[in-house]
Amino acid sequence: MTEQNQSTESPELADLESVLYTEAQIQAKVAELAGRLREDYQGRDLVLIGILKGGIPLLVDLSRKIGLPHQIDMIGAQSYRGTMGPVQEVRITKMLDLPIHGKDVVLVEDIYDTGNTLVKIKAMVETFEPKSLEICAFIYKNKERKQDLDIKYIGYKIEDVFVVGYGLDYDEYYRNLPCIGVLDPKIYSG
């Protein structure tokens, strides 16, 4: 595929300051995470739970690559914050459909930033008494946090910059990008 064709397919690429991870790198990383899950969850009763909406691409890719019988579900959460400030409040917008009592659950999330969203979702999911509960976050931001969670499965650790693509949005755009990149500050500073 020529570069010209690629930019025709994703005009949003022009809004990136830099690409951190290409589609090929991301897919190789997902295969690596799926391999770890395959080893860890052999013979267990696994449910992968994607956190809407950013966790969807990773949920779908992991599910197809894991090579183990498992169920999938989704949970919706909306984090309120000023444009890009810290999360003020987390509201559950979609509940789980599956009973997860006694199951081995892995929460699948796009990014671990302040951790506020995951702390709240994890506490909520724990009330259903799964047998085990782990977290897979594709991007882990290196930063100081008030509460720290143990994230067992991490794709990439990055500095504290605003990234988009592979599920990650700015104003609900860019989730479709197959790569992950740093958004050009011009886009959000007007």
Binding site for ligand IMP (CB under 6 A): 54, 79, 87, 110-118, 162-164, 168-169
The answer to whether the beta carbons of residues 151 and 135 sit under 8 Å apart is yes
One of 15, 104, 113, 171 is an active-site residue; which one? Answer: 113
Q: Is there a catalytic annotation at residue 113?
A: yes
In whole angstroms, how close is the CB of 71 to ligand IMP at the nearest point? 22
Phi–psi pair at 123, nearest 5 degrees: -60, -40
Cβ nearer to ligand IMP, comparing 103 with 163:
163
- The reply to whether omega before 53 is within 30° of 0 (cis) is yes
Cβ nearer to ligand IMP, comparing 83 with 127:
83
For residues 39 and 25, what is the distance between their CA atoms, to the nearest angstrom?
Answer: 22
First to last CA, the chain: 33
In whole angstroms, how close is the CB of 135 to ligand IMP at the nearest point? 11
In whole angstroms, how close is the CB of 43 to ligand IMP at the nearest point? 31
Cβ atoms within 10 Å of 163's Cβ, excluding its own: 24
Which amino acid belongs to residue 171? Answer: D
Cβ nearer to ligand IMP, comparing 115 with 130:
115
Q: Which stretch binds Mg ion (CB under 5 A): 8-16, 125-133, 148-156, 164-172?
A: 164-172
Cβ atoms within 10 Å of 71's Cβ, excluding its own: 15
Look at residue 166 and give the partner it binds from Mg ion, ligand IMP, none, a contact being a CB closer than 5 to 8 Å depending on partner kind: none
In sequence order, the β-bridge partners of residue 156 are: 139
Nearest Cα neighbor of 58 from 145, 149, 135 is 135
Cβ nearer to ligand IMP, comparing 42 with 88:
88
Which residues in this chain contact Mg ion in the complex, by CB under 5 A?
169
Catalytic residues: 113
